[in-house]
Structure 1
Amino acid sequence: MEALFQYFRKFSPLSKEAEKAIAEISSMVTIKKNNDLQPIGHTCKTIYFIKKGVARIYYFKDGIDITERFFFENSIIARVESLFTGKPSRKAIQILEDAEVVAINSNQLFKLYDDYPEIERLFRKIFESAYVETVNRIEGIQFHSAEERYNALLHEAPDVLMRVPLKYVASYLGITQVSLSRIRGHR
């Protein structure tokens, strides 16, 4: 759990009592490569912290598998549109490498907000940061070329090409694998 609390400290400090309360509603989960942590149609009731491994959020559009985002070690992942609405998600979370994650029960977490305002503040900051990342991702698609998006991805996650299948990288960039090969060839 220490890695989780170190991650939290980047956003906001927590008292030992608040850390203990979060630890009591959390569990370590090991999941094998290529398994869904949360399948499509699942209602999100868990917030995950990736201690080890890589995950992606994906969905299908017209029968095509589309990668929305990658998550690496020391990041939080959840289907927030489902988490906050209670509706099933049209997207899934898939593990791309054997992974260790901390699973935080969201219903119990939200109950802690009243007793520990510092926990509510922490998760507000985490979700604000995730919102900004989502806006940046959308603007990247709107305003940057595929090559610029590729370079930004490599800057953000230098080992992505060694850890993630190229078909998912191409999908994330919104291009074909042939176009990705062409971009990689220009480097």
Structure 2
Amino acid sequence: MDELFQFFKAFYPISPAAQEAITAISTEISMARNKDLQPIGHSCKTIYFLKKGIARIYYYKDGIDVTESFEFEHSIVARVESLFSGRPSRKGIQIVEDAELIAIDANKLFKLYDAFPEIERLFRKIFEAAHVNLVNRLESLQFHTAEERYNDLIKESPEILQRVPLKHIASYLGITQVSLSRIRAKR
């Protein structure tokens, strides 16, 4: 749990009592690669912290597997639109590389907000940062070329080429694997 609380500290420090309350509603789990952490069509009721490994959020459009995002070690992964609405998600979370995670029961977490306003503030800051990242991702797709998006991805996550299948990287960039090969050949 130390890694989780170190992650939290970067957003907003919480008291030992709040840490204990979060620990009480959390479970450490392991998951093998290529398994769905949350399948498409299910409601998100858990917030995950990735201690080790990689996850991706994906969906299908016209029968094609599309990667929306990647999450690496020391990050939170959840289907936020489903988490807050309670509706089943049209997206899933798949483990790309064997993973160790901390699963936080979202319903119990939200109940802690009244007893621990610091927990509510912490998660508000985490969700705000995630929202900013999403807006940046959308703007990248709107305003940058595929090559610029590739270069940005490699700059942010240089190890991604060794850890993630190229088909998922191409999908994330919004291009075909052939186009990705051309971009990579230029480097």
TM-score tier after normalising by the smaller chain length? over 0.9
CA distance in 2, matches of 1:94, 1:56: 5
SS in 2 for 1:40: coil
Counterpart amino acid of 2:57?
A: I
CA distance in 1, matches of 2:156, 2:121: 26
TM-score, normalised by the number of residues in structure 1: 1.00
Moved over 3 A (4+): none
Counterpart amino acid of 2:95?
A: I
5+ unaligned residues in a row in structure 1: which ranges?
Answer: none
CA distance in 1, matches of 2:138, 2:183: 21
SS in 1 for 2:168: helix
CA distance in 1, matches of 2:112, 2:158: 37
CA distance in 1, matches of 2:185, 2:106: 44
Aligned residue pair count:
187
Map 1:113-132 to 2 at 5 A.
113-132=113-132
Map 1:21-170 to 2 at 5 A.
21-170=21-170
Residue 156 (structure 1) shift: 1.1
SS in 1 for 2:30: strand
CA distance in 1, matches of 2:57, 2:156: 17
Counterpart amino acid of 1:87?
A: R
CA distance in 1, matches of 2:125, 2:86: 21
* 2:181 match: 181
5+ unaligned residues in a row in structure 2: which ranges?
Answer: none
CA distance in 2, matches of 1:110, 1:132: 22
SS in 1 for 2:97: coil
Counterpart amino acid of 1:31?
A: M
Identity of aligned pairs, percent?
Answer: 68
* 2:10 match: 10
